[in-house]
Amino acid sequence: MSIQDLIEKTKVSFCQDCGVCTGSCPVSRVLPGFSPQQMVAKYVLSSDLGMEDEVLGEQDVWSCLTCALCLQRCPSKVEYLEFVRGVREEAFRAGNKITHAHDGILQTITQMQTSGLPQNRTAWAREAGTIKEEGEYYLFVGCVPYFDVLFKDMGVSPLGSASDMLKILNKFGIEPVVSDEERCCGHDMLWSGNVDLFKELALHNVELIKRLGCKKVIFGCPEGYLTFKEYYPLYCTDMGLDAVHFYDLVYDQIQEGTFQLSPLEQKVTYHDPCRLGRMAGMYDSPREIIASIPGIKFVEMERNREEAVCCGISCWANCSSYSKQIQMDRIKEAEATGADTLITACPKCNIHFSCALSSAEMGLEVKDLTQLMASAMGI
Amino acid sequence: MNNFEPLIAVFSCHYCSYAAADLAGSSRIQYPPNTRIIKVPCTGRISVNHILRALECGADGVYVAGCLEGTCHFVSGNFKAKQRVQSAKSLLGEINIEPERVQMYFMSAAEGSKFANVAKEMTETIKELGPSPLKGTNTQ
C-alpha cells in the first residue's frame, strides 16, 4: 500500500497537530527528537511532494514501541498504530530493516521454523501435565521454550509459567492439545514489517489447529492472543477458531467458585502489558484473579489500566539506553507503591523488567501472574 | 549417504586455534577438507546468532575453537563462547535439530595435531548425523 493510501486509510489527515501523542509517548520522553506527530507530518509532506522513497529509508519509524498510548489519547482518533505498521511494511520492502536486539537470535529461530521442521515442543508438556492429540481446546505455547533457554540465567522461567498454565488447565478438567508442528505466532515479524513471513506462519498455524479438530485456542501470552484475534483474520479468511485468554478462563472458574486458594502474604502491584490492556482491552480479569487470592494486598501504580506505560521494547528490537530508562522509570513507579512484587501478565514484560532489576538495587521482585496463581493453588 | 561430504563452519580465534590450524598446515598433518575456517579476533565475538545463521545458510555443523581455558588473550572470551555454544545447542534442541551439530573446542597455538584431530572427529560426527535438515531452506 502506498503511503498516500495509508494516510487516507488510517485517518492521518485528521491530525490536528495538538501534540498530545508526543506528550504521551514514552519514547519521546527519553529520546530527544522523536515525535509521533512530527513523524506523521513528515510522511504526509513527503507523500505530497512525491518523495516517499527517501523517507522510507529513515530509522525513526523503528523507534516507536507500538504501545498504543498515543492512540488511546488522540482526540482525532488517528490510527497511528496501523499507520506505523503500514510504513514499516513498506520500509521493509524498500530494504530498511529494524535493528534486532540479542543479535537477532529470536528472529533467526522464527525464520528457521518456516522450514517445516517438526519441533520438540511437547516434551515439557508431557512431563508437566496431561495433553491430548485431538480435542476441543488447543494450547498455543508460543515462543516461551526459546525464551527459557536464552533468559533463564536472569532468574526468569517462562517455560515454568507454561507448565503452571497446563497444570491449572488440567485442574479445571481441560486437557488441551499441544503440537510439535506449531510455529511462532508471527507477532514480531508483523511489527518488523516482514509481512510475508507473518502470513506464512499465520496460515500454517490456522491450518494446523483446524486439522487437529480444535475449536478454541488458549493463549497465555498477550502477544499471541492479540495477533490471533486481531491480525490473523486479516490474512486468513474464514478461520472459525476462537481465541481465549487463559486469564478469562481462570476468571470464569473463580466466579463459579470451583477451586480453593491458599493465602499468600504479599503486597503486589500489576503492570498492564500494552498488548493485553490497551490493545486487547483486558484489564479486569488479571486484577480479579489477584484479588481472589486471600491475604494478598493489591495496590495500583500511578499510571495503570489505559494509562500504563510500556516495558520499553517490542518485538526484540532496538534495545538501547532509552529502553532501559523507560524500564527503570516503570520499576521505580512500582517500588513507590510500597509493593514487594510486580506482577506481569506477559513473558516479555517479565524478562525486560527482570533485566532492568538485575542492574538496580531494589527490594522488588517480578513475577508472572500464572506463577502467582499456581503458588496460591498449591501447584 | 556414504558419499555425503558435510560442510562444517569453524570459528577460530586469531591467537590460538587459527595458529594451530597454521601449524597443522606447515607440519603437513592431514585432515578432512570439509571444514571452512572463519577467523575471528576472539571467540568471545561469536554470538548465538552467528552459529544459528551458519546452519541456516547451509552448514551441516559448526564448531567454535578457542584458546585453552584460562589462556584467552582477552581473559574470558573463550568462556563466553562456551556459554553461547551451550545456548545454541539448547535452542537447536527445542527446534529438534541435533545439538551435536554444534561444538566448542579449546586448543593452544602449539596443538596443530589437536586441530587436525578435532576436524576429523567433527567430520565423522556430522557424517553420521547426515545433512542438516535446514539445508537449502534459507530463502533470504
Query: Can you give the CATH number for the domain in which A9 is found?
Result: 1.10.1060.10
User: In Å, how far is B32's CA from the nearest CA of chain A?
Assistant: 29
Q: How many domains does chain B have?
A: 1
Q: Given this model, what pLDDT does residue B54 score? A: 93
- Pair B43, B8: CB distance under 8 Å: no
A258-316 tens-digit pLDDT: 788 888 889 999 999 999 999 998 999 999 999 988 889 999 999 988 889 998 888 88
Domain housing B118: 8-129
CB-CB under 8 Å, B49 with A103: yes
**Which one, of B54, B66, B130, lies nearest residue B104 by Cα?**
B66
User: In Å, how far is B124's CA from the nearest CA of chain A?
Assistant: 24
Q: State which of A193, A216, A249 marks the end of a domain.
A: A249
Instruction: From residue A332, give the alpha-carbon distance in Å to each of A65, A351, A365.
Output: 20, 17, 12
User: In Å, how far is A5's CA from the nearest CA of chain B?
Assistant: 28
A328 and A299 part of one domain: yes
Give me the amino acid identity at A149. Answer: V
A327 and A346 part of one domain: yes
A122-144 tens-digit pLDDT: 888 888 888 888 889 999 988 88
Within-domain flag for B3: no
- Pair A149, B91: CB distance under 8 Å: yes
**ipTM of the complex model:** 0.78
Separation of alpha carbons B50 and A346, rounded Å: 28
CB-CB under 8 Å, B95 with A149: no
Give me the amino acid identity at B107. Answer: M
Would the pLDDT of B1 be above 70?
A: no
- Pair A178, A121: CB distance under 8 Å: yes
**DSSP states of B103-119 as a string?**
EEEE--TT-HHHHHHHH
| pLDDT average, residue stretch A181-200 | 89
A235 and A122 part of one domain: yes
Within-domain flag for B29: yes
CB-CB under 8 Å, B52 with A105: yes
Would the pLDDT of B138 be above 70?
A: no
A139 CB contacts (<8 Å, ≥6 apart)?
A: A125, A131, A165, A166, A169, A176, A177, A178, A217, A218
Give contacts of B134 with chain A, Cβ < 8 Å.
Answer: 112, 115, 117
CB-CB under 8 Å, B48 with A112: no
Cα of A221 vs its chain's centroid, Å: 7
A23 and A108 part of one domain: no
A48 and A152 part of one domain: no
Q: State which of A44, A72, A93 marks the end of a domain.
A: A93
Domain housing A321: 258-376
Q: Which residues pair with B112 in a beta bridge?
A: none
A226 and A343 part of one domain: no
**Percent of chain A residues past pLDDT 90, beyond the cut:** 28
**DSSP states of A42-72 as a string?**
HHHHHHHHT-HHHHTT-SHHHH-----HHHH
**Do β-strands A267-271 and A242-245 pair in parallel, antiparallel, or remain unpaired?**
unpaired
CB-CB under 8 Å, B133 with A115: yes
Instruction: From residue B19, give the alpha-carbon distance in Å to each of B16, B35, B74, B79, B119.
Output: 5, 16, 16, 19, 15
Contacts for A323-331 with beta carbons within 8 Å, 24 or more apart? A323/A352, A324/A356, A324/A359, A325/A30, A326/A26, A326/A27, A326/A29, A326/A30, A327/A352, A327/A353, A327/A355, A327/A356, A328/A356, A328/A360, A329/A26, A330/A271, A331/A356, A331/A357, A331/A360, A331/A362, A331/A364
**Which one, of A375, A315, A311, lies nearest residue A345 by Cα?**
A311
User: In Å, how far is A145's CA from the nearest CA of chain B?
Assistant: 7
Give contacts of A121 with chain B, Cβ < 8 Å.
Answer: 94
Q: How many other CB atoms sit within 10 Å of the CB of residue A7?
A: 22
User: In Å, how far is A99's CA from the nearest CA of chain B?
Assistant: 14
Within-domain flag for B139: no
Q: State which of A210, A230, A249 marks the end of a domain.
A: A249
CB-CB under 8 Å, B52 with A103: no
CB-CB under 8 Å, A104 with B133: no
Q: Give the up-direction half-sphere exposure of residue B139: CA atoms within 13 A in the CB hemisphere.
A: 8
Nearest to B96 among A102, A119, A146 (CB): A119
CB-CB under 8 Å, B48 with A103: yes
In a mutagenesis test of the B interface, which of A105, A154, A180, A184 is the best target, namely the one with the most B β-carbons within 10 Å? A105
In a mutagenesis test of the A interface, which of B48, B56, B83 is the best target, namely the one with the most A β-carbons within 10 Å? B48
B106-136 tens-digit pLDDT: 999 999 999 999 999 999 999 999 998 887 6
A150 and A79 part of one domain: no
Give contacts of B49 with chain A, Cβ < 8 Å.
Answer: 102-105, 108
Band the pLDDT of B88: cuts 50, 70, 90.
very high
- Pair A75, A20: CB distance under 8 Å: yes
B4-56 tens-digit pLDDT: 899 999 999 999 999 999 999 999 999 999 999 999 999 999 999 999 999 98
Within-domain flag for B70: yes
A236 and A325 part of one domain: no
This prediction has a pTM of 0.87
Q: How many domains does chain A have?
A: 3
Within-domain flag for B34: yes
Q: What is the DSSP letter of A227?
A: I
Separation of alpha carbons A100 and A92, rounded Å: 13
A270 and A371 part of one domain: yes
Give me the amino acid identity at A293. Answer: I
Q: Which three cell numbers stand for residue B68?
A: 585453552
Separation of alpha carbons A73 and A66, rounded Å: 14
Q: Give the up-direction half-sphere exposure of residue B136: CA atoms within 13 A in the CB hemisphere.
A: 2
Band the pLDDT of B137: cuts 50, 70, 90.
low
Within-domain flag for B39: yes
A315 and A196 part of one domain: no
Backbone angles phi, psi at A252, to 5 degrees: -60, -45
Band the pLDDT of B2: cuts 50, 70, 90.
low
Instruction: From residue A256, give the alpha-carbon distance in Å to each of A250, A259, A290, B86.
Output: 10, 9, 16, 46
A206 and A286 part of one domain: no
CB-CB under 8 Å, B94 with A149: yes
A306-351 tens-digit pLDDT: 889 998 888 888 888 888 899 999 999 999 999 999 999 999 999 9
A75 CB contacts (<8 Å, ≥6 apart)?
A: A16, A18, A20
Within-domain flag for B1: no
What CATH number has the domain bearing residue B115?
A: 3.40.50
A106 and A166 part of one domain: yes
